Amino acid sequence: MAVATLSAAKCRGTRIDGKPCESQIVGPSGCCYAHDPTVAEDRAKARRRGGLASSAISRTRRLAPAALRDVYTILERALAEVHSGVLSAGQATAMASLARAMCHVLSVGEMEQRLRSLEESLGDFQSL
Ligand SMILES: [Zn+2]
């Protein structure tokens, strides 16, 4: 596989929505990895590997709290949209920042709940 480089040139490929691809990570073919016809077989192999990995990811997702699963799904979509030029890097950065804050709030809430539960258990123990 050819090494892609970051340059001022943009990919010659076309996105699914018919607009030109905005990726600036362009290989010798003048296309990004997603649109490069010379690495189509590599992409197919990567998709198959991704399918195997996604089963592990989906198992991990089921273990996460529902609110975090939704955040992950949205961020995963944003990553693809930044790559294809649909979403600006600035918008993605703002989304990631908000997601971090949401995760922090959920984490603090969970810790509060666990502490309350421990204190209640301690209270039950002391009343014996
Ligand atoms: Zn492209």
Distance 38 CA to ligand 1 centre (A): 13
What is the percent of the chain with per-residue pLDDT over 70, rounded to a whole number?
92
**What is the band of 6 on the pLDDT scale with cuts at 50, 70, 90?**
low
Distance 43 CA to ligand 1 centre (A): 13
68-104 burial string, b = 16+ CB within 10 Å, else e? beebbeeeeebeeebbbbbbeeeebeebeeebeeeee
What count of other Cβ atoms lies within 10 Å of the Cβ of residue 12? 14
Distance 16 CA to ligand 1 centre (A): 10
Distance 121 CA to ligand 1 centre (A): 57
pLDDT digits (tens, 9 = 90+) for 43-98: 888 888 877 677 777 777 777 777 788 888 888 889 988 888 889 999 999 999 99
